[in-house]
Amino acid sequence: MRKIVINGGKPLTGEVAVSGAKNSVVALIPAILLADDIVILDGVPAISDVDSLIEIMEIMGARVIREGETLEIDPRGVKNIPMPYGKINSLRASYYFYGSLLGRFGEATVGLPGGCDLGPRPIDLHLKAFEAMGAKVSYEGDNMRLATESGQLHGTHIYFDIVTVGATINTMIAAVKAKGKTVIENAAREPEIIDVATLLNNMGARIRGAGTDVITIEGVDYLGSTRHQVIPDRIEAGSYIALAAAVGKGIRVTNVLYEHLESFIAKLDEMGVRMTIEEDSIFVEKQEALKPVNIRTAPYPGFATDLQQPVTPLLLKAEGRGNLVDTIYEKRVNHVPELARMGANIKTIGSTIIYDGPNQLTGAPVKATDLRAGAALVTAGLMAKGRTEITNIEFILRGYSNIIEKLRALGADIDIIEE
Angle at 56 between CA 55 and CA 60, to 5 degrees: 115
Known binding residue 23? Answer is yes
Decide if 137 contacts 128 (C-beta within 8 A): no
Length of the chain: 419
Known binding residue 306? Answer is yes
C-alpha span between 285 and 264 (Å, rounded): 17
Known binding residue 142? Answer is no
Contacts of 160 (CB under 8 A, 6+ apart): 125, 129, 167, 168, 184, 185, 186, 187
ω into 299 cis (within 30 of 0): no
Known binding residue 125? Answer is yes
Known binding residue 307? Answer is no
- Kind and range of the H or E element at 169? helix 165-175
- Kind and range of the H or E element at 97? helix 96-105
Known binding residue 104? Answer is no
116 counts as catalytic? yes
Q: Residue 108, class by beta-carbon neighbours within 10 Å (0-12 exposed, 13-18 middle, 19+ buried)?
A: buried
* Concatenated DSSP letters of 247-264: HEEEEEEES--GGGSHHH
Active-site pick, 4, 26, 83, 116: 116
C-alpha span between 131 and 129 (Å, rounded): 5
Known binding residue 120? Answer is no
Classify 56 as helix, strand or coil.
helix
Closest CA to 375 of 192, 232, 243: 243
C-alpha span between 191 and 92 (Å, rounded): 19
Known binding residue 124? Answer is yes
Number of helices followed by number of strands (H, E) in the chain: 14, 23
Task: Return the amino acid letter for 154.
Answer: H
C-alpha span between 352 and 364 (Å, rounded): 24
Contacts of 214 (CB under 8 A, 6+ apart): 183, 184, 185, 187
Decide if 97 contacts 83 (C-beta within 8 A): yes
Positions at the binding site for UDP-N-acetyl-alpha-D-glucosamine? 92, 121-125, 306, 328
Positions at the binding site? 22-23, 92, 121-125, 306, 328
Residues marked as catalytic:
116
